Chains A and B, each alone.
Chain A
Amino acid sequence: GAGVSQTPSNKVTEKGKYVELRCDPISGHTALYWYRQSLGQGPEFLIYFQGTGAADDSGLPNDRFFAVRPEGSVSTLKIQRTERGDSAVYLCASSLRLDLRDEQFFGPGTRLTVL
């Protein structure tokens, strides 16, 4: 595809519900990253994948958050028992390789609102 795509663009849910956020990276990009951006702040790292495996999940805030990338392409970020504090824009990025020099290309984000 032309760029990283994310669905849905907006998600409104109630406290305690389960949500899934999807990311389609650029075709051929092996590295995929998830970030979370709260209002007025810069993005904060959550997790990144090299291929199908999570290379670093140290940014996930707690065990309610989980992400998968079963076929090494599309990734899903899953949030259980959502809380109001989870409200943020969730950004996905991909890069050609997991390499310090590689540029990350960002998707438009999913705005999650937990009521």
Chain B
Amino acid sequence: NAGVTQTPKFRILKIGQSMTLQCTQDMNHNYMYWYRQDPGMGLKLIYYSVGAGITDKGEVPNGYNVSRSTTEDFPLRLELAAPSQTSVYFCASSYRAGGPDTQYFGPGTRLTVL
């Protein structure tokens, strides 16, 4: 049981390049989330999904896209990378939304845009 896995661990992009951050969970959770964490700040929700084929925007969605074709996978797409997207990205999943149920987090992807 690997939990939530993310690839890659690190990536450097040039301005204007695109990339996809991969996220997979093996806990059969319906709910999945993408967060970003900037230095000295808390995590901010980018997008979330309540199940395969259903996604919605979080607090900071601009510049990102997501898709959810399976229960296990929730990739995050950056189309035109900008320096403001330099951050650490965390994927998470949960059995239910909100309440006391914890979200399980992946180890993160550290992205630098130069």
Q: Do the two chains bind?
A: no
Chain A interface (Cβ within 8 Å of chain B)?
Answer: none
Chain B interface (Cβ within 8 Å of chain A)?
Answer: none
